[in-house]
Amino acid sequence: MLNKMEFKTLQDIESRYYMQPMIAKINVDISTQKFGLQEIFNHLYDYLVDCKDEVEILIQNRVQQGEIRDASQARKSIAGGAFSNLIVWVFLKNKEQGNIRQNIFITSKISSVPQWQDLFYIKVGEEIQKPDVDLVIYSLDSKNKFHKCLILSLKTSLRERAGQTYKWKLLMEIANVESSIREKYDISYNPPILPLVCFATVNFYNEINNPQHRGMFKFFDCAFIGKNIQTGDFIKPLSALIDYISEKL
pLDDT, tens only, 46-94? 999 999 999 999 999 999 999 999 999 999 889 879 999 999 999 999 9
Q: Beta strands 135-140 and 187-188: pairing type?
A: unpaired
Question: Where does the pLDDT of residue 40 fall: very low under 50, low under 70, confident under 90, or very high at 90 and above?
Answer: very high
pLDDT, tens only, 160-175? 566 677 788 889 889 9
Q: Rounded distance, CA 149 to CA 231, Å?
A: 26
Residues of the chain with pLDDT > 90, as a percent, come to 73
Query: Mapping DSSP to helix (H, G, I), strand (E, B) and coil, where does residue 129 land?
Result: strand
Q: Rounded distance, CA 86 to CA 51, Å?
A: 13
231, pLDDT greater than 80: no
pLDDT, tens only, 125-139? 999 998 878 999 999
Higher-confidence position of 217 and 225: 225
Helix H or strand E encompassing 116: helix 116-120
- What is the structure's pLDDT at 204? 73
Rg over alpha carbons for the chain, rounded to the nearest Å, is 19
Q: Rounded distance, CA 187 to CA 175, Å?
A: 6
